[in-house]
Amino acid sequence: MRLPIAAAVIATLLISACQVDAGLVIAKTAVNPTNGHTYHLLHGDGINQVGLSWTEAETEALQLGGHLVAINDLAEQEWIVDTFPGQPQPGGVSDSYHLWIGLNDAADDGTFVWSNGDPVTYTRWNPGEPNNFGGDEDYVHFYNFANGAFEWNDAPDVRLFPSSGGPMSALVEVVPEPSSLVGVGLVVVAAISRSNRRELGYLR
């Protein structure tokens, strides 16, 4: 394992169980071995209908040191689908979920951009999307449509998906700073080493 990825794993373990704003949790954290980026899945409680809007999700992402995920190729899309579980839905647990990603056209209708500034090099729209239904669908999520393809759809800035009432979840992507990752890793390793030495009686 490369040092930046190892340090990222150590750092994310420290916050993977943390509570974000009321009703929301970091349900899972994982590091993509291909790019070394850390991903946090933000969930509400699907059974009790707690979700978060796109703008709320982006605010949470900034607090975690990142942005909503920018999916740059098919390999990243497939890794996300394989890595993160579905969100519980009304009436029971389902393997489908509404997951906010960073793509949006809030600033210029019809021109979609990633919230982190990455160029748009890949999309996976559901057929007929984006359609800006109702004139206010400025934000993008993906969902397990009937074809099972986890394709993308534009939606308004809502906590619950309008047609199904399913709660909106979100995926945060944090791009590591190599120097800071090494520093975090060294601090954590030093703390563990000191603790172990104390247990062995080397420190008083």
Q: What is the mean pLDDT of the chain?
A: 78
Q: Are the C-beta atoms of residues 172 and 68 closer than 8 Å to each other?
A: yes
- pLDDT per position as a tens digit, 12-33: 444 444 445 545 789 899 999 9
Q: State residue 164's pLDDT score.
A: 76
In order, the DSSP letters of 58-123 are HHHHHHTTSEE----SHHHHHHHHHHSPPPPBTTB--S--EEEEEEE-SSSTT--EETT-------
Euclidean distance between CA atoms 89 and 110, whole angstroms: 30
What would the mean pLDDT of 45-59 be, rounded to a whole number?
A: 82
Q: Is there a domain that residue 109 lies in?
A: yes
pLDDT tier for residue 73 given thresholds of 50, 70 and 90: very high
CA quadruple 96, 100, 103, 109: dihedral sign: positive
Q: State residue 137's pLDDT score.
A: 98
Q: State residue 196's pLDDT score.
A: 43
DSSP state of 202: S
pLDDT tier for residue 153 given thresholds of 50, 70 and 90: very high
What would the mean pLDDT of 46-69 be, rounded to a whole number?
A: 89
Q: What residue numbers bound the domain in which 85 lies?
A: 3-176
Q: Is there a domain that residue 194 lies in?
A: no
Per the listing, tokens 């009703």 go with 23
Q: Kindly state the percentage of the chain with pLDDT values over 70.
A: 65
Q: State residue 114's pLDDT score.
A: 99
Q: Are the C-beta atoms of residues 101 and 141 closer than 8 Å to each other?
A: yes
Total domains in the fold of the chain: 1
- pLDDT per position as a tens digit, 93-126: 454 578 999 999 999 999 999 999 999 999 999 9
Q: How far is CA 101 from CA 65, 173, 184, 194, 202, in A?
A: 16, 9, 27, 41, 50
pLDDT tier for residue 61 given thresholds of 50, 70 and 90: very high
Q: Which two tokens stand for residue 140?
A: 């993008």
> What CATH number does the domain containing 62 carry?
3.10.100.10
Q: Which long-range contacts (CB under 8 A, 24 or more apart) does 155-158 make?
A: 155/54, 155/98, 157/53, 157/54, 157/55, 158/51, 158/53
